[in-house]
Amino acid sequence: MANATIQLPNQSINIQTVPGSGFIRVILPETDNCFYNPASGLFSTEPITDGAPLDLVTHYLPELTQKLNEFDAQRRAYIARYNQFSASL
């Protein structure tokens, strides 16, 4: 299994290969007050149908960025609701 870490301005994301498959696992870091963590998602690394060599960054980065942004927005909304609920107790 290979590991890589992507450092973003406010967080880092861990990426691992999944042995015996054509997938990579993307793992978001744990955050305070969130019971949905650690979160992960699988992304295929199989070649495109025409058999051309696959440039993972060019091919998957836009999709990965979009999915991570969507997940992060949902995660932040859940954390905000949880914090609001906790504060009202």
Written as tens digits, the pLDDT of the chain (89 aa) is 567 676 666 666 777 777 776 677 777 666 555 544 455 555 555 555 565 555 555 666 677 777 777 777 777 788 888 888 888 87
Q: Give this prediction's pTM.
A: 0.40
At 67 the pLDDT is 73
What are the start-end ranges of the E strands in 1-89? 3-7, 12-17, 23-28, 39-44
Q: CB count, 10 Å around CB of 78?
A: 14
The total of structural domains in the chain comes to 1
Range of the domain at 74: 3-88
